Amino acid sequence: MNKEAWEAIGISVDDLLNFTWEDLLKVAPKLAEIGHPIGFAIKDTFDANGGLFPILWSFGARVVDEQGYVTVVSPETRRAIEYVIELAKYMPPDVFAWDDAGNNRFILAGVGSWTPNPPSIWAVAVRDKLPIAEAIDHAPLPSGPYGRFRVADYNSFGIWRFSPNIDLAKDLLRWLMRPDNVVKQVEASWGYNQPTLRAYDEISYWMTRTPLRYYHPAVEELRPSGWPAPPGPEWAMAYNLHIVPLMFAKAVIGEMTPDEAMRWAETELLKLGFKGR
């Protein structure tokens, strides 16, 4: 977030600790009025998940349940879509064209006031000594009636079964995952790479950088995109074909009503192999 833009409307970073999505909707017009709108991608791009899934989950919606049944058509999903339709009115129209770096440029250019993103925006601003660097801060995402969530997609290490050096590779992974080395990876990535295992909970990097102080301990529930859908090829396809961001985008631009958008998403998910009731 651009804390100077928020301070101009009388809200501090600490105030956002108790923000709900409804609060964000109330302040969005004020931020847009002063020329510093909020924004996140509402189109078929990966970063869109970071803004849309927390809203879905906070309103109690689930796209696919734990058993792999499609549950996207629900009053909760409709409520989430209607919320985004309202919120999008105070975003620049560019959000429908942003790629994964669009929201980064939005904040770095000094235009945007808020976007859901890892600390890479802050890291680039500091690294490149941009004027906006001092104004960038981070706060937890808002909460909804069903909780406060953040998307935490994770990457995994793997060793090919056909590798002639499996034991050596395992040794390398053990070395990389030593707590003292994980600390170095977190520092080298300016806090962008966030370890997922509890053993690394005590990394102090977050407390040494004021803009990162709210990353630890995490205030939100961290979930991977698509949760609670079971991991597998079906969700890999749904994620890569951007079904959920497209569902929102179609409703927001008016191509479909929220109900039509939900049904469209349901059809697409069923065709990808998820189960229907």
| Residues binding other proteins (CB under 8 A) | 43-45, 92-94, 96-99, 102, 105-106, 109, 111, 233, 236-237, 240-242, 246, 249-250, 255, 267-268, 271-272
> Which of 29, 31, 52, 30 lies closest to 40 in space, CA to CA?
52
What's the min distance (Å) between Cβ of 260 and other proteins?
A: 14
What's the min distance (Å) between Cβ of 54 and other proteins?
A: 22
Instruction: Give the three-class secondary structure for 83.
Output: helix
**Nearer CB in complex with other proteins: 20/267:** 267
What's the min distance (Å) between Cβ of 163 and other proteins?
A: 14
Strands 147-151 and 221-223, how do they pair?
parallel
Q: Return d(Cα 173, Cα 152) in angstroms, integer.
A: 22
**Nearer CB in complex with other proteins: 45/194:** 45
Q: Return d(Cα 84, Cα 75) in angstroms, integer.
A: 14
Tell me phi and psi for residue 203, to 5 degrees. -70, 130
**Nearer CB in complex with other proteins: 8/241:** 241
What's the min distance (Å) between Cβ of 264 and other proteins?
A: 9
**Nearer CB in complex with other proteins: 19/264:** 264
The kind and range of the H/E element at 104 are helix 102-108
N-term to C-term CA, the chain: 41
Task: Give how far Cα 117 sits from Cα of 11, 40, 56, 204, 227, Å.
Answer: 20, 9, 17, 21, 18
**Nearer CB in complex with other proteins: 104/194:** 104
What's the min distance (Å) between Cβ of 179 and other proteins?
A: 29
**Nearer CB in complex with other proteins: 133/241:** 241
What's the min distance (Å) between Cβ of 245 and other proteins?
A: 9
Q: Which residues contact 160 (CB under 8 A, 6 or more apart)?
A: none
